[in-house]
Structure 1
């Protein structure tokens, strides 16, 4: 089995991390209904007051790309864009196995 993962961080403007976190957790809740999304995890580093981290596992790269056209993501981008100050992507991975899938 091979799956596709995306992970990275999004930086919010000072004092806006909780707002960004709310948007991303809303998206995570919506991912419960997306059949080919296996993991959509959102977290924070207590040492960094501005970043939110995301880890996603998808059936394949195409499934991830298709998700970007979902209304929930379009709405998320519209709401969050004004408070986002940067993004960092870590290497996308081909998942070969492990627990949690």
Structure 2
């Protein structure tokens, strides 16, 4: 029988945590659907974006909730300089009455997200 030495463990790698944002956006009166169209036009074009969900508030006809999950905070920051995002910001700005970042989070996984 072979003698086993100490267990071999892979070097501990520190993983960069995922980065999440929960935002609240108020559209100018009657402009919520137009704003949704602008916000959704950039989906799929943002490297590092794992989830980007735009949701209508069921009570306030001008309110949107935006939930984002990124592979890391640097990817989110870099996305803000993408031409498609810059165009969406310029096009959407006149339709926005107010914006508030409700929370920055560190997602750990969930349905549709692989744990990183």
Structure whose alpha-carbon radius of gyration is higher = 2
- CA deviations on 1:32-63 (whole Å, 9 max, x unpaired) are 24341100111101211111211111011010
Seen in structure 2, the aligned counterparts of structure 1 residues 55 and 91 have a Cα distance that, compared at 3 Å, is same
Matched residue, 1:55: 67
Structure 2 gaps of 5+ residues are 1-14
Where is the strand percentage greater, Structure 1 or Structure 2? 1
TM-score by length of 1: 0.88
* Aligned 8 A contact 1:20 1:52 in 2: no
| RCO higher in structure (CA 8 A, sep ≥6) | 1
The correspondence of residues 1-101 of structure 1 with structure 2, limited to 5 A, is 2-28=17-43, 32-101=44-113
Q: What's the offset of the Cα at 1:100? A: 1.6
Query: What are structure 1's unaligned runs of at least 5 residues?
Result: none
TM-score in terms of structure 2 length: 0.77
| Structure 1 position 13, deviation (Å) | 0.8
* Total equivalences in the alignment: 98
**Counting helix residues as a fraction of each chain, which structure ranks higher?**
1
Greater than 2 Å deviation, 4+ residue runs = 96-99
- What's the C-alpha RMSD, in Å, of the aligned pairs? 1.4
